[in-house]
Amino acid sequence: MDVQTVDKILDKFPDTTGNLIAILHEVQNHFNYLPEAELRYIAKKIDIPITQIYSIVHFYNRFTLSPKGKHEISICLGTACHVKGAGKILDELKEKLEINPGDTTEDMNFSLEVVRCIGACSLAPAVVIDEDTYGDLTPKKLTKTLSKYK
C-alpha cells in the first residue's frame, strides 16, 4: 500500500468528506484504478464506512476497481459508427492489442472498452483514446493513431 501518496492526496483536501469524489479521482489518476487497500486506508483515515466509498465507486462509471492501462480506448458502437464500419475497427483493435473489450494489455499500456455513443456521430467510425477523439477511422488510420501512444 502506498500510504505516502494517499496522504499527499488527502492533504490537498482539508474537507475530506465533502471532497470524497475528488479524492477518489486523484487516487485513480495516480494508480490507474482504485486499489482496495488504499480505499480501506482512506475510509479509516477520514472516518467513514468503506461501504460509503464503494457506493460512490459503483455509482460513477468513471471509477474502476481493476487495473487499467495507461491509455484507455473507448470504441463507439452506436448506430452511426456501427453503420460506417466500427466492427472492423473493433476487430483491428482486438488483433493489434491482443485483448478483448474490458481487458488490459499485458504491458498495462492499453485498456479497451466498448461504448454506445461518444457524441461524435459526424466522425463515424470513432474512438476516444484518453481524452482525444479520432474519427473517420479505417484500420490503416487506426494503426497510425495507435503508434502515437506506444
Whether 14 has a pLDDT exceeding 90, the answer reads: no
Predicted local distance difference test score (pLDDT) of residue 32: 86
Predicted local distance difference test score (pLDDT) of residue 61: 76
Please, are residues 86 and 121 in contact by the beta-carbon 8 Å criterion?
no
Predicted local distance difference test score (pLDDT) of residue 15: 81
Q: Which amino acid is at 53?
A: I
Angle between helix 3-11 and 36-45 (nearest 10):
50
DSSP tag of 4: H
Please, are residues 27 and 38 in contact by the beta-carbon 8 Å criterion?
yes
pLDDT band at 78 (very low <50, low <70, confident <90, very high): very high
Section 91-112 average pLDDT: 95
Predicted local distance difference test score (pLDDT) of residue 107: 94
Whether 146 has a pLDDT exceeding 80, the answer reads: yes
The domain defined by 71-147 folds into Glutaredoxin (3.40.30)
pLDDT, greater one: 150 or 102: 102
Predicted local distance difference test score (pLDDT) of residue 18: 84
Where do the domains of the chain lie? 3-59, 71-147
Please list the helix, strand and coil fractions of the chain in percent, rounded to the nearest 5, in that order.
50, 15, 40
**What is the model's pTM?**
0.72
Closest CA to 125 of 93, 94, 79: 79
Whether 124 has a pLDDT exceeding 80, the answer reads: yes
Predicted local distance difference test score (pLDDT) of residue 2: 92
